[in-house]
Amino acid sequence: MLGEQSDDRIAANIVTGIGFLGAGVIFKGKMSVLGLTTAAVIWSMAAIGMVIGTGEFVLAFFLTGCMFIILAFFHKIERMLSGFFFTKTLYITFQDIGLYHLKDFEELLLDGSVKPVRKGLEKRGNQLMVIYDITGRRKHIQAVNEKIVGLDYVYEFSYS
């Protein structure tokens, strides 16, 4: 009456449900996305749960240990490496909408030993807002930030 039962159908429904849960914890901001690690952990734990459901307890124990190591120690490695390569998002608002300031500003970024990638350009009234991702050594990014503060054509500046 219920039809044929198969493990792959159970797994498919678990994947569908976890997909909705994972999507629910991901939040997109104006220029950022939050919750990806949480979504990845939910997916991983669901996969480990399915491994337990198939009776592969040793594999599930091993995978749980791997997840613990990744979650406990990889942020320390990331922090250690961030001294070498660091990425910041810059939000720059220029005094006016003239593109000549934009060209001068991009030359400043290129001279600062950082790699800039323009992510957005928006006109707000009589001002121009530009968003960049810059990657480089921490000290180079700090030096660029100090130069930006001294620019008279920059109305507002922030980074995250």
**How confident is the model over 100-147, as pLDDT tens digits?**
777 888 888 877 678 888 888 888 888 888 888 888 887 888 888 888
Looking at per-residue pLDDT, the higher value among 67 and 74 belongs to 67
Q: What is the CATH number of the domain that holds 138?
A: 3.30.70.260
Residues 38 and 64 in one domain: yes
Residue-wise pLDDT tens digits, 9-63: 888 888 888 888 888 888 876 656 778 888 889 999 999 999 998 899 999 999 9
Do 74 and 125 fall within a single domain?
A: no
Domain boundary among 81, 111, 134: 81
When the pLDDT of each residue in the chain is averaged and rounded to a whole number, the result is 82
Contact call for residues 108 and 134 (beta carbons, < 8 A):
no
Closest CA to 21 of 49, 6, 5, 40: 40
Residues 39 and 16 in one domain: yes
Q: Is residue 48 domain-resident?
A: yes
Which DSSP symbol is given to 128?
A: E
Rounded alpha-carbon distances, angstroms, from residue 58 to 5, 10, 61, 65, 76: 26, 22, 5, 11, 28
**pTM metric for this prediction:** 0.53
Is 126:63 a contact under the CB 8 Å cutoff? no
Whether 1 is in a domain gets the answer no
* Whether 129 and 90 share a structural domain: yes
pLDDT score, position 112: 66
